[in-house]
Structure formats: C-alpha cells, structure tokens
Amino acid sequence: MIEKLREIICDYANVAPEDITEDTNIRRDLALDSLSLINLAVAIENEFDLEISDRDAMSLETVGDVIKIIEENKKN
C-alpha cells in the first residue's frame, strides 16, 4: 500500500518517492495546500475504493495518518 500511496502523492507534490515516509508531514514537507490536499484525498479514494470526508482530509497531518485512514475506511 505504501508504494502505491507514494506514487499518488508524487503526482501532487514535487518530491521523490523515496523521500516519503510515514512521518512525512503533508503540509510542511510536501507543501500541499488545501485544494491539493482535497485532490489528493479524491485520488486516494479512487485508488483504494473508499470514502474520505473533506473534514477527515483536512485533518490529515502525516502520510501515516493517510495510511491509518485508508486502513480504517477501506471497503471490504
């Protein structure tokens, strides 16, 4: 899952995949603004077949938070 997530994040942030870890801060380290964060959430929803509310998307701090929300919301 982390590899696919890195690919998606790289589409929205100007970083190398190997620079993305669970501790990477979405706003500070990836320099994503609110609109980019919402677009990233939509891309994650599409890739992992789940729903992330705008409220949850805006509360994401780290890539680890994204992984957690994917695991919690993934449809079976």
Instruction: Please write the tens of the pLDDT for every residue from 20-59.
Output: 999 999 989 998 888 888 899 999 999 999 998 888 888 8
**Residue 8: which of 76, 63, 73 has the closest Cα?**
63
Instruction: Quote the mean pLDDT of the chain.
Output: 89
The residues, ordered by sequence, that sit 6+ positions from 68 with a Cβ below 8 Å of its Cβ are none
Which residues on neighbouring strands pair with residue 25, listed in sequence order? 62
Residues serving a catalytic function are 33
- pTM to 2 decimals? 0.84
What was the pLDDT predicted at 75? 58
Question: H helices of 29-73, where?
Answer: 34-48, 54-59, 63-73
Mean pLDDT to the nearest integer, 47-76: 87
CB atoms within 10 A of CB 29: 16
pLDDT given at position 5 = 93
